[in-house]
Amino acid sequence: MTKTIISPSGVRGIVGESLTIEFAAQVAAAFGAYLGGGKVVLGGDTRQSYGLYHAVVRDALLGIGCDVIDIGQAPTPTHQQAVRHHQADGAMVITASHNPIQWNGLKMMNREGGFLSQAEFDDFKPFLDKDFGELRGAIAPGECEEDNQAIERHVARIFEALDVSAIRKSTLKVLVDVNNGTGAIADPILFEKLGIQVAIMNGEPNGIFTHTPEPVKENLSQIMNAMKEGGFDIGFVQDPDADRLVILDENGHFIGEDYSLALCVDYILSHSDVSDKKVVVNLSTSQVVEDVAARYGATTHYTKIGETHVTQGLRDLGAVVGGEGNGGVIYPKVGWGRDSLTGIVIALKYLAESGKSVSQIVSDYPTYVMHRAKREVASREEVSQLLADFESKYQGEKMDTQDGVKVYLADGWIQMRPSNTEPIVRIFTEAKDIETAQRLAHL
């Protein structure tokens, strides 16, 4: 049986197996006790098990003394905005993000609307070992209220940070694959307010994903074919909780997760008047982002993988923009998390204001090829041995050991690291061509 994954990124497991109702309630009660009660925003994505977990998480939070602000099914970045709006003490989001349909999970946020830092997560973990009675003590139950305007406020926040007048005046035609996730709820609101032509694929928010949820090329043949036939200017794909975004060009070509991030970083830096520009990305992000940033005299800083680490880096450095190479754009002027709605607006502004097509923009970037592989692991000991062997093999080469081991070679780079969300070790390689990238992956 697949083990429950517990990390600062949250808790994930197989519905009814490694993520039981009882364990979900325990996590919620532990989180409420860790917060010391107070206000907690609650909601999640459209997965079919949402209702089941929502009820037990809500009741556990109420029972531990938290007041719950229920925003229902909405994008993860909408929850982050709701925390700030309500001045809440935290949030719980019922989602397994890009994981397959049989998974669900719980993401936890702090009072700033960001995910728990490593230090916060370390403080939270001991509460998981306490039973409910010990956690609750003599605390009176909390109260629950519904907030049905969270997505509208999220969109308004984006429009405050990013002038959309050029988009509204444009004739851009857009295709979006929301894959039956929360984009199916949020995107109609966003595009109605933008006032441009949009077609939404797989737009029923029922959690019955039309294709495997992770927005990578092998899962996107449907929208790629539709783009080739429909005369669209740009295509977007979101994952189920709508924090990740990838872009297709006007010809239906998948430009890649990292290049989707690079396009957004390019636009933001080109319109930034900050003198000391900084960009923060994780260690698995393509070199293309650093190359694009360098055009504007910006320095690129790398963190461990995980949204919480990138967000902390953005805060610490006062960076202009950042994100993760999986298509997660983080723009601090909007919020402290990956936000596909913000990414959509940035990309559309780039097209509307420049008059360029996506293919023209991306053709100006250096070409890199990323190869991703993974290997299932059975234990922490197996992970440790794999990493030790890998580091030994490349002893003497330039390395970064913040997160697993990343090795920089003359013809590319290789990174081996344990996943935060699945029982696997990930192996990333990047080079100028696919042959070299694949060769580097053959460890």
Dihedral (Cα; 263, 171, 242, 330), 10-degree rounding: 30
Dihedral (Cα; 161, 113, 121, 216), 10-degree rounding: -60
In the three-class reduction of DSSP (H, G, I as helix; E, B as strand; rest coil), residue 36 is classed as: coil
Say how far apart CA 437 and CA 64 lie, in whole Å.
51
CB 11 within 8 A of CB 103: no
Q: Which residues is 175 bridged to in the sheet?
A: 199, 235
* Contact partners, residue 105, CB within 8 Å, separation at least 6: 5, 10, 11, 12, 13, 19, 94, 95, 96, 97, 99
Residues marked active site are found at 97
Among candidates 2, 69, 62, 72, which has minimal Cα distance to 31? 62
Three-state secondary structure of 48-82: CCHHHHHHHHHHHHHHCCEEEEEEEECCHHHHHHH
